[in-house]
Structure 1
Amino acid sequence: MKKLFSLALALSIGAAVFAQEKKDATLNIVPLPQQVQIKNGTFKINANTKIAFDSEEDKKVATLFQDFLKSNYSLNLSLVKSASSNTIYFSSKNAKSTNAEAYELNISSDRATISGKAAGLFYGMQSLIQLLPVDKKASIEIQQASIQDEPRFAYRGLHLDVGRHFFPVEFVKKYIDILASYKLNTFHWHLTDDQGWRIEIKSHPKLTQIGGYRKQTLLGNYKTDGDYDNTPYGGFYTQDQIKEVVAYAKAKYVTVIPEIEMPGHALAALSAYPELGCGDKPGPYTAAQTWGVFDDVFCAGKEETFKLLEDVIDEVIPLFPSEYIHIGGDECPKTKWKTCPFCQKRIKDNNLKDEHELQSYFIQRMEKYINSKGKRIIGWDEILEGGLAPNATVMSWRGDQGAIDAANQGHDVIITANSYGLYFDHKQGPDQNREPLSIGGLSTLSKVYSSDPMPSKIAENNKKHVLGVQANIWTEYIGSSNKVEFTVLPRVLALSEIAWTQPEKKNWKNFSEQRAANQLAKLDQTNTF
């Protein structure tokens, strides 16, 4: 990992910048807080320092900070329920803002006080952690300061595709740690795709028994190479493991949103239940062994398709407290639908114009079912085609036109477009020959940082529908946890800042030469979160 991390660092910021000393008086916090007042002097943390808290909810965050100091600085500080001198104090009773994620951090000569509601205390703790010294053997002195902070956007997300390549639970937890460290609050878990079905569904066990595995995997670029590794590949998460991850994320104030792809990207599911493909005698199918978009999708004309997907939703919903279920909706070729008697009958019986309206029928039917269970859907921006489902939230990935159209129609949107640099599986430096094989594209640190996820063509009264921003990691060419970390770092730092900080406060020079460089120095030293 060290080698890949150093490469990412050099590509994105540059080794010379990484070595520079502090340039100005800004505190080394990412994302940049909304208001900072730096004062004279420091607060020293030593073996006699206590960690105080108000409520049992506050104690949860205080305990996280206690654990961090113990594991990273070999300090085992006591927890107490009343603040005094030489104290780090977590206080919800002194919260002033109505924003649940807002916090204040006041550091004086003898005390550091974090005020806010539960999530705010957690984010204040993250800011305090970032102020700790890079050298973990040095005395711990923190700059005296006063910070008032709250996020720009309510939705601040990072996605991980585990369909193309599977990642173990322990790494998924580490990934959640990365999000939480930089005040991202949503983990979009892409659990199904053509190459693998990764979530246990007890009513339909073949989804993982068969659909969770593929015979082999393509080596090299899927457009130019034709060699395979001749090695079976697969894996899936049990429902108990899903619960474990969701609980872990909740403790870090991260919401997990599952994605179950439909009606396209369905080959893994069809390999398990081929009768759900188009035609009288569909299949046989196998989970995809290469990348791309495939013509074989769920048959929209068969009731059995909806029965299986409703059964899946019935098992998914209890596992995820999130108000949202992501149902994909992207890259669904209509080739098989055009010649399928079942799909054509569905079009005729429902007075639909064409296959695009058939996809809209599919999405709206699933939305109605999911809404009846008390949840809302998110879909990629293709769900706009043929008519948008009434209560759907659009995840705009093909530029920002989908976001503009949806928001101006009164629908909530999330910006996640590759034109904003938000596809982290794209290469991140101008010298792309130095990087591992990727799907292509270029998403530099500066491109991510310069993005403003508020399209100007959205009417002023509809900008409230922009919930926030997310970066995506598709894993066609990312087969190891080390490579995932390489794609995330350091671009997640820029993502966190465009998601949290007001755009007029951003400063690329300060970010790249000081604050991000300081964060990366810590990561380079420890290689842990």
Structure 2
Amino acid sequence: MYKKIFISLCVFMAFFAAFADAQDTDPNMGIIPAPVSLKKSPGEFVLSQETTLLADSIDNKAVVFLHDYLKNNANLKVKLQANTGSVTANSIVLTSKGADNLPAGGYTFTITPQQITITGKGAGLFYGVQSLIQLVPADKGAVAKLPCVQINDYPRFGYRGLMLDVSRHFFSVEFVKKYIDLMAAYKLNNFHWHLTDDQGWRIEIKKYPKLTQISSRRAQTVIGNYHDRTPQQFDNTPYGGYYTQDQIRDVVKYASDRYINIVPEIEMPGHSEAVLAAYPELSCDPSLTTYKVAETWGVFHNIYSPSDKTFSFLQDVLTEVMDLFPSKFIHVGGDEVPKDAWKKSEFCQKLIKKLGLKDDKSSSKEDKLQSYFIQRMEKFVNSKGRSIIGWDEILEGGLSPNATVMSWRGEAGGIAAAKQNHNVIMTPGSAGLYIDHAQGKENEPLSIGGNEPLTKIYSYNPTPAELSPDQQKYILGVQANLWTEYIPTENKVEYMILPRILALSEVAWTPVAGKNYTDFADVRLPGHLAWFDKNNFDYRVPAAIGGKDTIMFGTQLNVNLKSSVQGAKVYYTIDGYNPRETDIEYTIPMSYNVPADQYRELKTIVITPSGKRSQITRAIMYNKAPLPAINGNNTNKGLKYKLYTGEFNSVNDLNTAAVIDSGVTVTFSTAAFKKNIKGYGVIYTGIFRIDSDGVYGFSTASSNGSVLLVDDQPVVGNDGKHGVYDQGGAVPLLKGYHKITIKYFDATGNGNLKVFMTTPGKLKAEVTPDTMFN
């Protein structure tokens, strides 16, 4: 019986550089996002100085882009000539002939030993060029050998977006162009430029010079995570910046040359503190002249008054904005609008009465006033031949007739809008699309919180199953958002978006059936990361492929690793110390026997040629017989708990803390503990029953530290201060009752805890104390 369940569990551990090594085994030849169809052929094309670039129009943007890239980045000064239609050996042909039946943004791409041919119109031709560039190896020498292939490709969604917030922190024109270059490389086509907010106005409006004189500068900035410091601390350093209209035009053209549309966002009616600092007459209480550009983060209660003066101001602003941006879409924000000022305003209440707005079950009269505000602005934008986008709060009080909804508070807003036949862009933070959140458990830079790893964003499907096929047609696409409250530097921007925007590109472009996370992360991504490393980008280094944080049971620890960055080295230890470059370099698979009643601990790290490091993974292999059942009964549901208070850094700190409460609970919800305590810890104890022998998996998803023990044996180690992180382990158990202990601490009062169990032959499922006993 023991042999049956006590199994040994193993630890499975140019523009883009050096993809050639993966091309023989990778069905997508290193290309990100994965093409719709790719068929390899025998042979190769030799790209050299003698190659000719033939094009229907030598001034075509895609043609110019490729010619400049080959000359400036690949040191290949190929000849550029107009395509006369005659077959020419050793040539690259870019043409629109035969592209009439391709989907929008689609292209075909063929490499034979004699010729490379890319067929597409407009953006489609440009995307074919991007795929070609990804096949050019960086270590080509005097020539580049490209494998023969036939690709048929087109995007899944027409809108593939990435947002950059430049209000909280300002970034130079040069860096914005670098951001756009990354988007273009991965076939993203809408740059959402968040230009205004409470903390700064970033666009020159000639009719209102005080927007750049006053609203673009704040006196100082809050230090660190403002939730964690009482009182708040500030840097006492003035901060500001804005883009001139000439700079805006320059960026718009730069993006257009890469087939990227820029969607400008001008926030209304909330997130307007910066404007009110310059023009207090637009507020709900014009008698106040003490408004200032916000110096901290969060939601502020000073918002625009829905007066004719405000509408005149915003129409003037948007007129200049629309003169600068040719985008069909103009983003008007509409999110996080506290209604306190409107409730207190005599003018607003008279307007509500005049408009006949009343409370109902679905919305308040103030919500309906916001709807009036947005709809009035929409009519103006529509009169200019444009359409508005707003965050999903614009649904409150009634949706504007032609508005597109950007669904960020989960998918509910997008689903509701699609069911009303409105266009939707999916961007839910709950799906990993808020890339200002952390990317892992430990050693992450300060962020707004949360945990949105690469796997989470990659697994997202923007078309909810709740929608019918006809309703799903209203999902225009998907977008990831980078808010910059905690991102003051360009390096940190790069770290937060890379490599997550590569996962975004595949969500937005590749058909669901063509996605494969293992191929994406383990085969194709390492080459792209190598290019980032070589070209001085900052990025998050993934853990070693095969490295894992877990607890397992078996007789042998198997070390089978691969670098997550091509050309980087993997180091590991089995002595409990953290690995570094002085430790064992992984070169070949290794096995370590684990004697009975002992354990072995494997730690791994990836160190890149530029010196960047991955997080350290920690896997423990215990050699223990299946844990025997204990005596128990199932009469008293729930787990016992003991509550502690204090400032904790580890669950071990609970051992010496004073108990302030105890009892029995049927939920892991800690809402009751949060009412009067900032930092606290809790230990849950009890028993649970299993109906068959087997290896059972457990995990805890917690914001801050948690550990789980079964029969006093550690199974989950998720300790330490961190954002929400799900970590697991497994343990062999015999049928019957077993003791369970869960220790958890919350350092901020904003954390939470969930516990999951995986029964042999079944999917992972959440468990709660009401399914256990005390």
TM-score by length of 1: 0.94
Is 1:500 paired with 2:509?
yes
Following superposition, the deviation at residue 134 of structure 1 comes to: 3.6
Verify the 8 A CA contact 1:103 1:114 in the aligned structure 2.
yes
State the distance in 1 between where 2:250 and 2:57 align. Answer: 25
> Could you report, residue by residue, the CA deviation over 1:463-504 in whole angstroms, capped at 9, with x for unpaired residues?
110000000000000111111111110001100000000001
Q: How does 1:58-69 map to 2 (within 5 A)?
A: 58=60, 60-69=61-70
Structure 2: runs of 5 or more not aligned: 1-12, 359-364, 539-774
Whole-Å separation in 2 of the counterparts to 1:25 and 1:119: 25
Higher helix fraction (1 or 2):
1
1:55 maps to 57
Structure 1 match to 2:388: 377
For the pair 1:422 / 2:428, whether they are aligned, the reply is no
* SS state at 2:330 partner: strand
In 2, distance between residues paired with 1:66 and 1:336? 57
Are 2:246 and 1:216 equivalent residues in the alignment?
no
1:108–1:280: structure 2 CA closer, same or farther, 3 Å change rule? closer
**1:22-421 mapped onto 2 (5 Å cutoff):** 22=22, 23-56=25-58, 58=60, 60-82=61-83, 84-137=88-141, 139-225=143-229, 226-300=232-306, 302-353=307-358, 354-421=365-432
Between the two structures, name the one with larger relative contact order (CA 8 Å, sep ≥ 6): 1
Q: Post-superposition shift, 1:430?
A: 2.9
Q: 2:471 matched to which residue of 1?
A: 462
Distance 2:335 2:171 in 1: 23
After superposition, the C-alpha distances for 1:207-251 in whole angstroms (9 at most, x for unaligned) are 111000000011110112211111100010111111100000000
Identity of aligned residues (%): 54
Asked if structure 1 preserves the Cα contact closer than 8 Å seen for 2:463 and 2:472, the reply is: yes
- 2:37 partner letter: Q
User: Residue type of the partner of 1:64?
Assistant: F
Residue 517 (structure 2) pairs with residue 512 (structure 1): no
SS of 2:473's equivalent in the other structure is helix
CA RMSD of superposed structures (Å): 1.7
Query: Once the two structures are superposed, what CA deviation does each residue of 1:91-127 show, in whole Å capped at 9, x if it has no partner?
Result: 1123243423100000000111000102111000000
Q: Secondary structure at the match of 2:54?
A: strand
Give structure 1 stretches of 5+ with no counterpart.
1-13
Against the structure 1 CA distance between its residues 339 and 307, is the aligned structure 2 distance closer, same or farther, given a 3 Å change threshold? Answer: same
Most deviating of 134-143 and 185-194: 134-143
Q: Equivalent residue for 2:490?
A: 481
Aligned to 1:445: 454
User: Separation in 2 of the partners of 1:137 and 1:330?
Assistant: 53
Contact 2:49 2:143 in 1 (8 A): no
SS at match of 1:73: coil
Residue by residue over 1:14-33, the C-alpha shift from the partner in whole angstroms, topping out at 9 and shown as x without a partner, is 9xxx9996344431100000
Does structure 1 conserve the Cα–Cα contact (< 8 Å) formed by 2:19 and 2:135? no
Conserved 8 A contact 2:58-2:80: no
SS at match of 2:422: coil
Distance 1:24 1:317, change over 3 A: closer
Q: Is the 8 A contact 2:27 2:38 kept in 1?
A: no
CA distance in 1, matches of 2:537, 2:444: 22
- The answer to whether the 8 Å contact 1:329/1:383 transfers is yes
**SS of residue in 1 equivalent to 2:38:** strand
Distance 1:280 1:88 in 2: 64
Which residue type is aligned with residue 69 of structure 1?
Answer: L
Provide the C-alpha distance between the structure 1 equivalents of 2:48 and 2:32, rounded to a whole number of angstroms. 25
Counterpart AA for 2:502: L
Is the CA contact (8 Å cut-off) linking 1:279 and 1:341 kept in structure 2? Answer: no
CA contact (8 A) 1:97 1:116 kept: no
Q: Structure 1 55/138 Cα, relative in aligned 2: closer, same or farther at 3 Å?
A: closer
SS of residue matched to 1:287 = coil
Distance 1:169 1:280 in 2: 35
1:378 is paired with a residue whose SS is: strand
**CA apart distance, 1:283:** 3.4
SS at match of 1:201: coil
For 1:53 and 1:199, how far apart are their aligned partners in 2? 38
1:429 Cα deviation after fit:
1.6
Q: Equivalents in 1 of 2:148, 2:20: separation in Å?
A: 23
Q: Secondary structure at the match of 1:89?
A: strand
Structure 2 Cα separation of the partners of residues 36 and 98 of structure 1: 16
Partner deviation per Cα, 1:337-378 (whole Å, 9 max, x = no partner): 110111111101101121111111101111111111111000
1:56 to partner: Cα distance: 4.5
Q: Which amino acid aligns with 2:39?
A: Q
Give aligned pairs, total.
509
Tell me how far 1:138 sits from its aligned partner. Answer: 6.7
Partner-residue secondary structure (3-state), 2:482? coil
CA distance in 2, matches of 1:56, 1:323: 28
Give 1:420 deviation, angstroms.
Answer: 1.2
Q: Provide the secondary structure at the position in 1 that maps to 2:147.
A: strand
2-structure distance, mates of 1:439, 1:283: 31
Give the alignment of 1:11-26 within 5 angstroms. 22=22, 23-26=25-28
Q: 1:472 aligns to what SS in structure 2? A: strand
Distance 1:279 1:56, change over 3 A: same
Q: CA deviation at 1:277?
A: 1.0
Partner of 1:9: none
Output the amino acid matched with 1:502. P
* Counterpart Cα distance in 1 of 2:269 and 2:394: 11
